[in-house]
Protein backbone atom coordinates (compact mmCIF):
# COMPACT_ATOMS: atom_id res chain seq x y z
CA UNK A 1 0.00 0.00 0.00
CA UNK A 2 1.28 3.48 -0.84
CA UNK A 3 2.25 5.66 2.11
CA UNK A 4 -0.08 8.49 2.99
CA UNK A 5 2.91 10.85 2.63
CA UNK A 6 3.51 9.92 -1.00
CA UNK A 7 3.84 13.05 -3.15
CA UNK A 8 3.09 13.35 -6.86
CA UNK A 9 4.25 16.39 -8.84
CA UNK A 10 3.45 17.78 -12.28
CA UNK A 11 4.66 20.75 -14.32
CA UNK A 12 2.01 22.39 -16.49
CA UNK A 13 2.95 22.42 -20.21
CA UNK A 14 1.89 25.10 -22.64
CA UNK A 15 -1.87 25.71 -22.55
CA UNK A 16 -4.24 27.44 -24.95
CA UNK A 17 -5.86 29.50 -22.23
CA UNK A 18 -6.82 29.62 -18.59
CA UNK A 19 -8.26 26.55 -16.91
CA UNK A 20 -9.20 26.17 -13.25
CA UNK A 21 -7.06 23.89 -11.18
CA UNK A 22 -10.03 21.69 -10.17
CA UNK A 23 -10.81 21.07 -13.87
CA UNK A 24 -7.16 20.41 -14.74
CA UNK A 25 -5.94 18.03 -12.04
CA UNK A 26 -8.37 15.11 -12.28
CA UNK A 27 -6.96 13.78 -15.56
CA UNK A 28 -3.36 14.61 -14.63
CA UNK A 29 -3.21 12.81 -11.30
CA UNK A 30 -4.54 9.25 -11.25
CA UNK A 31 -4.82 9.49 -7.46
CA UNK A 32 -7.57 12.09 -8.02
CA UNK A 33 -9.29 11.11 -11.23
CA UNK A 34 -12.19 13.57 -11.02
CA UNK A 35 -13.09 17.18 -10.33
CA UNK A 36 -14.88 16.28 -7.09
CA UNK A 37 -11.81 14.41 -5.81
CA UNK A 38 -9.63 17.41 -6.69
CA UNK A 39 -11.91 19.73 -4.70
CA UNK A 40 -11.68 17.39 -1.72
CA UNK A 41 -7.88 17.44 -1.98
CA UNK A 42 -7.93 21.25 -2.05
CA UNK A 43 -10.26 21.39 0.95
CA UNK A 44 -8.00 19.06 2.95
CA UNK A 45 -4.84 21.02 1.97
CA UNK A 46 -3.37 18.10 0.02
CA UNK A 47 -3.02 19.97 -3.29
CA UNK A 48 -0.31 22.58 -3.79
CA UNK A 49 0.27 25.15 -6.54
CA UNK A 50 3.81 26.50 -6.77
CA UNK A 51 4.51 25.47 -3.18
CA UNK A 52 1.41 26.92 -1.54
CA UNK A 53 -1.93 25.28 -0.75
CA UNK A 54 -4.16 25.50 -3.82
CA UNK A 55 -7.56 27.20 -3.91
CA UNK A 56 -10.52 26.30 -6.12
CA UNK A 57 -10.33 29.81 -7.64
CA UNK A 58 -6.76 29.22 -8.89
CA UNK A 59 -6.01 28.97 -12.61
CA UNK A 60 -3.07 26.97 -13.93
CA UNK A 61 -0.56 28.40 -16.38
CA UNK A 62 2.47 27.19 -18.30
CA UNK A 63 5.34 26.33 -15.98
CA UNK A 64 3.26 26.03 -12.81
CA UNK A 65 4.22 23.20 -10.47
CA UNK A 66 1.36 21.22 -8.97
CA UNK A 67 1.82 18.69 -6.20
CA UNK A 68 -0.64 16.36 -4.49
CA UNK A 69 -0.21 14.31 -1.34
CA UNK A 70 -2.41 11.25 -0.95
CA UNK A 71 -2.95 7.76 0.34
CA UNK A 72 -2.73 5.85 -2.90
CA UNK A 73 -3.66 5.67 -6.53
CA UNK A 74 -7.36 5.67 -7.28
CA UNK A 75 -8.24 2.55 -9.25
CA UNK A 76 -10.95 3.09 -11.86
CA UNK A 77 -13.15 0.05 -12.35
CA UNK A 78 -15.06 -0.08 -15.60
CA UNK A 79 -18.82 -0.36 -15.38
CA UNK A 80 -20.49 -2.41 -18.09
CA UNK A 81 -22.90 0.03 -19.75
CA UNK A 82 -23.22 -0.12 -23.56
CA UNK A 83 -22.48 3.31 -25.02
CA UNK A 84 -22.96 4.37 -28.63
CA UNK A 85 -19.79 6.06 -29.87
CA UNK A 86 -20.76 8.75 -32.37
CA UNK A 87 -17.33 10.28 -33.02
CA UNK A 88 -13.79 9.24 -32.07
CA UNK A 89 -10.22 10.11 -32.98
CA UNK A 90 -6.95 10.41 -31.04
CA UNK A 91 -8.08 13.64 -29.36
CA UNK A 92 -11.80 13.35 -28.65
CA UNK A 93 -14.58 10.84 -28.19
CA UNK A 94 -18.28 11.76 -28.34
CA UNK A 95 -20.90 9.32 -27.09
CA UNK A 96 -24.69 9.17 -27.02
CA UNK A 97 -25.40 9.03 -23.29
CA UNK A 98 -28.50 7.14 -22.13
CA UNK A 99 -30.76 8.88 -19.65
CA UNK A 100 -30.23 7.96 -16.00
CA UNK A 101 -26.41 7.88 -16.10
CA UNK A 102 -24.13 10.59 -14.73
CA UNK A 103 -21.33 11.87 -16.93
CA UNK A 104 -18.81 11.80 -14.08
CA UNK A 105 -18.53 12.50 -10.37
CA UNK A 106 -18.08 10.69 -7.09
CA UNK A 107 -20.09 7.60 -8.05
CA UNK A 108 -19.44 4.36 -9.91
CA UNK A 109 -22.17 4.50 -12.56
CA UNK A 110 -20.74 7.16 -14.87
CA UNK A 111 -19.92 7.61 -18.54
CA UNK A 112 -16.24 8.06 -17.72
CA UNK A 113 -16.11 4.70 -15.94
CA UNK A 114 -18.10 3.00 -18.70
CA UNK A 115 -15.48 4.08 -21.26
CA UNK A 116 -12.53 2.57 -19.38
CA UNK A 117 -11.03 -0.02 -21.73
CA UNK A 118 -13.60 0.79 -24.44
CA UNK A 119 -12.21 3.97 -26.01
CA UNK A 120 -9.35 3.43 -28.45
CA UNK A 121 -6.01 4.46 -26.90
CA UNK A 122 -4.69 7.82 -28.05
CA UNK A 123 -1.24 7.82 -29.67
CA UNK A 124 -0.68 11.52 -28.98
CA UNK A 125 2.17 12.48 -26.64
CA UNK A 126 -0.06 14.15 -24.05
CA UNK A 127 -2.63 11.36 -23.99
CA UNK A 128 -4.67 11.05 -20.80
CA UNK A 129 -4.86 7.72 -18.95
CA UNK A 130 -8.60 7.63 -19.74
CA UNK A 131 -11.13 9.90 -21.49
CA UNK A 132 -12.27 12.83 -19.34
CA UNK A 133 -15.54 14.70 -19.80
CA UNK A 134 -15.23 18.19 -21.25
CA UNK A 135 -18.78 19.16 -20.24
CA UNK A 136 -21.83 17.56 -18.64
CA UNK A 137 -25.52 17.11 -19.30
CA UNK A 138 -28.10 16.30 -16.63
CA UNK A 139 -28.39 12.72 -15.42
CA UNK A 140 -31.94 12.27 -16.83
CA UNK A 141 -31.02 13.89 -20.17
CA UNK A 142 -29.79 11.67 -22.97
CA UNK A 143 -27.63 12.61 -25.92
CA UNK A 144 -24.20 13.81 -26.96
CA UNK A 145 -21.37 14.11 -24.45
CA UNK A 146 -17.80 15.03 -25.42
CA UNK A 147 -14.77 13.60 -23.63
CA UNK A 148 -11.12 14.49 -24.19
CA UNK A 149 -8.41 11.90 -24.77
CA UNK A 150 -5.47 14.31 -24.44
CA UNK A 151 -4.53 17.08 -22.00
CA UNK A 152 -4.40 19.70 -24.74
CA UNK A 153 -7.83 18.71 -26.08
CA UNK A 154 -9.26 18.88 -22.56
CA UNK A 155 -7.94 22.40 -22.03
CA UNK A 156 -8.94 23.72 -25.47
CA UNK A 157 -12.44 22.25 -25.48
CA UNK A 158 -13.13 23.23 -21.85
CA UNK A 159 -12.27 26.80 -22.84
CA UNK A 160 -14.40 26.51 -25.99
CA UNK A 161 -17.46 25.53 -23.96
CA UNK A 162 -16.82 28.26 -21.40
CA UNK A 163 -16.32 30.86 -24.15
CA UNK A 164 -19.54 29.74 -25.93
CA UNK A 165 -17.67 28.61 -29.03
CA UNK A 166 -19.48 25.26 -29.17
CA UNK A 167 -22.93 25.33 -30.78
CA UNK A 168 -25.35 22.97 -29.02
CA UNK A 169 -28.85 21.96 -30.03
CA UNK A 170 -31.39 19.89 -28.12
CA UNK A 171 -34.63 18.10 -28.99
CA UNK A 172 -37.45 18.11 -26.44
CA UNK A 173 -41.12 17.22 -26.12
CA UNK A 174 -42.95 19.93 -24.19
CA UNK A 175 -46.47 20.52 -22.92
CA UNK A 176 -48.58 22.95 -24.92
CA UNK A 177 -48.01 24.70 -28.20
CA UNK A 178 -45.12 27.21 -28.08
CA UNK A 179 -44.64 29.97 -30.64
CA UNK A 180 -43.10 28.88 -33.93
CA UNK A 181 -39.91 30.77 -32.99
CA UNK A 182 -39.18 31.97 -29.46
CA UNK A 183 -36.41 33.43 -27.35
CA UNK A 184 -36.10 33.25 -23.58
CA UNK A 185 -33.93 35.72 -21.67
CA UNK A 186 -34.30 34.94 -18.00
CA UNK A 187 -31.49 34.91 -15.49
CA UNK A 188 -30.79 31.77 -13.48
CA UNK A 189 -29.33 32.22 -10.00
CA UNK A 190 -28.63 35.86 -10.86
CA UNK A 191 -26.64 34.93 -13.97
CA UNK A 192 -27.66 35.81 -17.50
CA UNK A 193 -29.19 32.95 -19.47
CA UNK A 194 -30.50 32.86 -23.03
CA UNK A 195 -32.26 30.12 -24.98
CA UNK A 196 -33.77 30.27 -28.46
CA UNK A 197 -36.17 27.65 -29.75
CA UNK A 198 -38.38 26.60 -32.60
CA UNK A 199 -41.50 24.45 -32.66
CA UNK A 200 -41.19 21.61 -35.16
CA UNK A 201 -44.56 19.88 -34.74
CA UNK A 202 -47.57 19.83 -32.41
CA UNK A 203 -50.15 17.09 -31.79
CA UNK A 204 -53.44 17.23 -29.85
CA UNK A 205 -53.67 15.20 -26.66
CA UNK A 206 -56.72 14.09 -24.71
CA UNK A 207 -55.00 14.40 -21.37
CA UNK A 208 -52.53 17.23 -21.97
CA UNK A 209 -54.34 19.30 -24.66
CA UNK A 210 -51.20 19.57 -26.84
CA UNK A 211 -47.68 18.17 -26.94
CA UNK A 212 -44.96 19.69 -29.12
CA UNK A 213 -41.57 18.72 -30.47
CA UNK A 214 -39.18 21.66 -30.15
CA UNK A 215 -35.55 22.35 -30.97
CA UNK A 216 -33.67 24.35 -28.33
CA UNK A 217 -30.33 26.17 -28.49
CA UNK A 218 -28.83 27.38 -25.20
CA UNK A 219 -26.47 30.33 -25.62
CA UNK A 220 -25.37 30.03 -22.01
CA UNK A 221 -24.68 26.92 -19.98
CA UNK A 222 -26.52 27.35 -16.70
CA UNK A 223 -27.49 24.32 -14.64
CA UNK A 224 -30.89 22.97 -15.79
CA UNK A 225 -31.18 25.98 -18.11
CA UNK A 226 -33.50 24.44 -20.71
CA UNK A 227 -35.71 22.82 -18.09
CA UNK A 228 -36.05 26.06 -16.12
CA UNK A 229 -36.57 28.22 -19.20
CA UNK A 230 -39.27 26.04 -20.75
CA UNK A 231 -41.16 25.81 -17.45
CA UNK A 232 -40.88 29.60 -17.09
CA UNK A 233 -42.88 30.18 -20.31
CA UNK A 234 -45.50 27.55 -19.44
CA UNK A 235 -44.16 24.70 -21.58
CA UNK A 236 -42.81 22.12 -19.17
CA UNK A 237 -40.54 19.48 -20.71
CA UNK A 238 -42.45 16.19 -20.62
CA UNK A 239 -41.37 13.93 -17.77
CA UNK A 240 -39.65 16.69 -15.79
CA UNK A 241 -40.85 15.90 -12.27
CA UNK A 242 -38.37 18.31 -10.71
CA UNK A 243 -39.91 21.41 -12.32
CA UNK A 244 -43.50 20.21 -12.76
CA UNK A 245 -44.71 22.24 -9.75
CA UNK A 246 -47.80 20.04 -9.45
CA UNK A 247 -48.49 19.90 -13.19
CA UNK A 248 -49.40 16.45 -14.51
CA UNK A 249 -46.94 15.05 -17.02
CA UNK A 250 -46.11 11.72 -18.61
CA UNK A 251 -44.25 9.53 -16.13
CA UNK A 252 -42.29 6.34 -16.67
CA UNK A 253 -40.71 7.47 -19.95
CA UNK A 254 -37.94 9.58 -18.47
CA UNK A 255 -37.15 13.21 -19.24
CA UNK A 256 -37.89 13.87 -22.91
CA UNK A 257 -34.84 16.05 -23.51
CA UNK A 258 -31.99 15.04 -25.81
CA UNK A 259 -28.65 16.74 -26.56
CA UNK A 260 -28.79 16.24 -30.32
CA UNK A 261 -26.03 18.29 -31.93
CA UNK A 262 -22.52 19.66 -31.28
CA UNK A 263 -20.72 21.95 -33.72
CA UNK A 264 -17.17 23.05 -32.91
CA UNK A 265 -13.62 23.62 -34.15
CA UNK A 266 -11.40 20.58 -33.69
CA UNK A 267 -8.84 21.20 -30.91
CA UNK A 268 -5.93 19.79 -32.94
CA UNK A 269 -6.34 20.86 -36.56
CA UNK A 270 -9.06 23.52 -36.24
CA UNK A 271 -11.44 22.16 -38.88
CA UNK A 272 -15.20 22.35 -38.38
CA UNK A 273 -16.78 19.28 -36.81
CA UNK A 274 -20.55 18.77 -36.69
CA UNK A 275 -21.92 15.76 -34.81
CA UNK A 276 -25.66 15.10 -34.86
CA UNK A 277 -28.03 12.36 -33.77
CA UNK A 278 -31.64 11.93 -34.82
CA UNK A 279 -34.64 12.63 -32.66
CA UNK A 280 -35.02 9.62 -30.33
CA UNK A 281 -37.61 7.12 -31.55
CA UNK A 282 -39.27 7.31 -28.14
CA UNK A 283 -40.13 10.96 -28.79
CA UNK A 284 -41.93 10.16 -32.05
CA UNK A 285 -43.71 7.15 -30.54
CA UNK A 286 -45.16 9.29 -27.76
CA UNK A 287 -46.35 11.98 -30.18
CA UNK A 288 -47.91 9.35 -32.48
CA UNK A 289 -49.62 7.67 -29.53
CA UNK A 290 -51.14 10.90 -28.22
CA UNK A 291 -52.36 11.92 -31.68
CA UNK A 292 -53.84 8.45 -32.29
CA UNK A 293 -55.68 8.46 -28.97
CA UNK A 294 -57.13 11.87 -29.71
CA UNK A 295 -58.35 10.79 -33.15
CA UNK A 296 -59.85 7.57 -31.76
CA UNK A 297 -61.81 9.49 -29.13
CA UNK A 298 -63.04 11.95 -31.74
CA UNK A 299 -64.41 9.11 -33.87
Catalytic residue among 23, 58, 64, 138: 138
| Residue 163 annotated in active site | no
User: What's the chain look like in SS3?
Assistant: CCCCCEEEEEECCCCCCCEEHHHHHHHHCCCCCCHHHHHHHHHCCCEEECCEECCCCCEECCCCEEEEEECCCCCCCCCCCCCEEEEECCCEEEEEECCCCECCCCCCCEHHHHCCCCCCCCCCCCEEEEEEECCCCCCCCEEEEEEEEEHHHHHHHHHHHHCCCCEEEEEEEEECCCCCEEEEECCECCECCEEEEEEEEEEEECCCEEEEEEEEEECCCCCCHHHHHHHHCCCCECCCCCCCCCCCCCCCCCCCEEEEEEEEECCCCCCEEEEECCCCHHHHHHHHHHHHHHHHHHC
Instruction: Indicate which residues carry an active-site annotation.
Output: 138
Amino acid sequence: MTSKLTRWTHTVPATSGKIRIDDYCGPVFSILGSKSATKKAIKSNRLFLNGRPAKTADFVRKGDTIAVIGAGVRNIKRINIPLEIVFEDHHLIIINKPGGIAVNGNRHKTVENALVGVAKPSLVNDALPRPVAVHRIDVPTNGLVMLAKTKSALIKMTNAFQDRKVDKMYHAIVHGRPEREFRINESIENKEATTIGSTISTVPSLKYEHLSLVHLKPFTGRTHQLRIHMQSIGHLIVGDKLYAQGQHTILGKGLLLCAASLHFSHPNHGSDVAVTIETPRKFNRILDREASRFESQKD
